[in-house]
């Protein structure tokens, strides 16, 4: 389980809320909000890079009849949709975290207290599942470009 997944784990946040004092939890949550902001920026950057690459691949097949798509073409189309979904997710999630930070919501009353795990799904997009699938497709497509290309992509992600 990655650190990003742990941050978005409901059980982990619930455990912290139950086991820490209110003051300590607020401080911890402030740190978690800073950390999630950094992870969201990384995801947004990676998705943007993959989206630009996949959009170029899509340009090569956009005039093809969909019934004649190869497996690679179908993966390109799926990756393009995932990238668009994740870019919308990133905009919404980053805006939410910005709002939390600017208005220092981690200092607000308990009922209005931000929940980092709420960021797991925004606009109907489960970031963990879709990002994992996008990176799997990107890895598969990059392997078709050659081992060196594949290794460089995985290293960058």
Cβ contact 25:16 at 8 Å: yes
Mean pLDDT of 93-110: 87
Dist CA 83 CA 76 (whole Å): 10
- 34-89 per-position pLDDT tens digit: 999 999 999 999 999 999 999 999 999 999 988 889 999 999 999 999 999 999 99
pLDDT surpasses 70 at 1 = no
pLDDT of the residue at 94:
96
Domain ranges, residue 127: 3-156
Count of domains forming the chain: 1
Dist CA 134 CA 100 (whole Å): 28
Backbone angles phi, psi at 9, to 5 degrees: -80, 120
Task: Read off the pTM.
Answer: 0.88
The fraction of the chain above a pLDDT of 90, given in percent, is: 68
């Amino acid at each position: 389980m990655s650190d990003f997944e742990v941050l978005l784990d409901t059980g982990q946040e619930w455990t912290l809320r139950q086991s820490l004092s209110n003051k300590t939890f607020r401080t911890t949550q402030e740190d978690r909000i800073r950390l999630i902001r950094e992870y969201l920026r990384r995801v947004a950057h990676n998705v943007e890079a993959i989206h630009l690459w996949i959009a170029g691949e899509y340009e090569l097949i956009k005039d093809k009849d969909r019934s004649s798509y190869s497996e690679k073409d179908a993966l390109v189309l799926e990756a393009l949709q995932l990238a668009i979904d994740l870019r919308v997710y990133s905009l919404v999630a980053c805006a939410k975290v910005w709002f939390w930070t600017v208005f220092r919501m981690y200092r607000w009353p308990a009922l209005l207290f931000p929940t980092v795990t709420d960021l797991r799904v925004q606009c109907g997009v489960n970031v963990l599942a879709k990002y994992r699938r996008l990176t799997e497709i990107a890895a598969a497509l990059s392997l078709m470009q050659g081992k060196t290309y594949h290794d460089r992509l995985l290293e960058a992600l």
